[in-house]
Amino acid sequence: MGSFEITELGTESCPECGRQYRVRYQSLPLKDKDDARCVCGHVFRKWNETGMYMYQEISEDRE
Ligand SMILES: [Zn+2]
pLDDT, one tens digit for every residue, the chain (63 residues):
567 799 999 999 999 999 999 999 999 999 999 999 999 999 999 999 999 999 999 987 666
Contact 42, 15 (CB under 8 A): yes
Measure 2 CA to ligand 1 centroid, in angstroms.
35
From ligand 1's centre to the CA of 62, what distance in Å? 20
| Cα atoms in the Cβ-side hemisphere of radius 13 Å centred on 23 | 16
- What is the CA(29)–ligand 1 centre distance, in A? 30
pTM of the predicted protein model = 0.84
